[in-house]
Amino acid sequence: MKNRILRAIKTKFVKDTLTLQASGFLTQASGFAASAVLAFALGAHGQGLFVMAVTLQALLFNLVNVGVVQATVSQLAAANARGLHEKVSAWLAFLVKTYLVTGALMIGVGFFALPYLCEAIYGDDLPPEEARSLGVWAWWLTWWILIDTPRAVAQVAFHATRRMTPLAQLDAAHEFIRLFLTLGGVVIFNSPAGAVLGEIASRACAAYLALNMYRNAREDGGAWLPSWREIWRMVPSIPLQKGLRLGLRLGLLKNATTIFINVLPRLLLSDFASFAWVAYFNIAQKIMGLATIAMQGVSRNVLPALAEKRGHNDFPGFRKLYWRASLIGGAAIAVAIGLGLVIARPMIARFYPADYTVPVFRCCWILAIGMIPTGFGIALDPFYILTNKMKANLTLALIGAIVTIPINVYITMLWPEEGPVWGQAIYLSWSLVHFTYIAFWLRNNRHATEWST
């Protein structure tokens, strides 16, 4: 038994997973520390305003960051497995062009839309000047899409070529830079605006770091990577349509998921309850995120690993890896969430103001109900991307939205403070429907024949 465990630890998949989980722990710990300090520095209302500014910007940012990045990782990993250097360069150039074009577009749209949107939504709940300031802060944050381009390229390149150590180092370094600059901004400006400016400055620092780390990765003896000059040379001529089709389909879905998980609960809480409850909900997500660290390492590693199996048309290996990652990862997450609930209340009482303890803990145990089923969906997105089943993914997600959104609104009207949190738990549980669909698809051995031909 001991020898089997040692052999498993020596495999690249397990080593990469452990590396990413260590990075995930540092990221979650940093986010937890930032939320605790901001609770004292800004108070529940000010912290809620900062969280909402980031949330509103995420409506635009996640459409590009999530969909296009995941699509590029999958295609880049498959091209790397086949040794197609030209294709590797093309996909990185596609990512750069997408970030530049959509970043400029979102800055323009955000300038006009975000302040007006905040005044329209929060004009009755906030002083007019504060409501407009919230929209301006959200617009400031749209600039990080352009600033973040070098870091996005480095992350995708490291992820797809399975350079998990530099990927983890880049993620952890950025998180600590963000923690320092965000809190520094609050100290200097004594308002949520300082936290917003610190967030943007951290992206600029991380971009500089990414440029140098990418240059070093090209000389580490690993999988081939193009130079920055070669990537930029291909940017003007690279077409966006093909990659954007896959990226935006996934991005639309992931952005919808972000809306249901992060944006919709915050909007409902800020409107039906208060901005303080937005802060409580955000902190509960941070705390429960500490319990799902096991999911982060596996979920980030499983996409390039499955892409390699797909690139070699290895259906049995693909199926085996999918089930192993899903079942082992899901079981570990369920146990971690249970343990997390045990320590959540004393942790909140120790690190946050006294009036945070009861509402934050109530959010924690409600979220846990939905997060346990989600833990078994570690490999859902890689499966849909690599098997070209995005239409099925979109269909199931649409049905899930039709079923869960009315329930969410209804229970919010009954319980303004806890209703949105229950709504998120119900939406998260919908992942069991996806899990069931994939189980039936993988049982069909006909796909092995299709892949081999």
Are 291 and 340 spatial neighbours (Cβ–Cβ below 8 Å)?
Answer: yes
Q: What is the DSSP letter of 378?
A: T
Cα separations in angstroms, 184 against 2, 41, 177, 302: 48, 11, 10, 36
Task: Please state, in angstroms and rounded to a whole number, the distance separating the CA atoms of residues 189 and 148.
Answer: 24
**pTM of this structure:** 0.69
- 282 Cβ contact list (under 8 Å, min separation 6): 35, 47, 48, 51, 266
Task: Please state, in angstroms and rounded to a whole number, the distance separating the CA atoms of residues 202 and 26.
Answer: 16
Predicted confidence at residue 196, as pLDDT, reads 94
Q: Which amino acid is at 168?
A: A
User: 62: burial class by Cβ within 10 Å (0-12, 13-18, 19+)?
Assistant: buried
Are 19 and 164 spatial neighbours (Cβ–Cβ below 8 Å)?
Answer: yes
Task: Please state, in angstroms and rounded to a whole number, the distance separating the CA atoms of residues 150 and 134.
Answer: 28
Predicted confidence at residue 195, as pLDDT, reads 93
3 state DSSP class of 298: helix
Task: Please state, in angstroms and rounded to a whole number, the distance separating the CA atoms of residues 35 and 28.
Answer: 11
DSSP 51-106: HHHHHHHHHHHHHHHHHHHHHHHHHHHHHHHHT-HHHHHHHHHHHHHHHHHHHHHH
Predicted confidence at residue 162, as pLDDT, reads 81
Element (H, E) at 269: none
The number of beta carbons lying within 10 Å of the beta carbon of residue 138 is 25
The tens-digit pLDDT sequence of the chain (453 residues) is: 445 544 544 456 666 666 766 777 777 778 888 888 888 888 888 888 998 888 888 776 765 555 677 778 878 887 887 888 888 898 899 889 988 988 898 899 889 988 998 888 887 778 888 889 999 999 999 998 899 999 999 999 998 888 888 998 999 899 899 999 999 999 999 899 999 999 999 999 999 999 999 999 998 888 899 999 999 999 888 877 655 565 555 556 666 666 666 677 887 888 787 888 888 988 888 888 777 765 666 666 677 778 777 777 778 888 888 888 888 888 888 888 888 888 889 989 888 888 889 999 999 989 998 888 888 877 887 888 788 787 888 888 888 888 888 888 889 888 888 888 898 888 888 888 998 898 888 887 676 666 665
DSSP 186-230: HHHHSSHHHHHHHHHHHHHHHHHHHHHHHHHHTTSSSS----HHH
Closest alpha carbon to 177 in 34, 275, 39, 322: 34
Q: Count Cα atoms within 13 angstroms, Cβ side, for 385.
A: 34
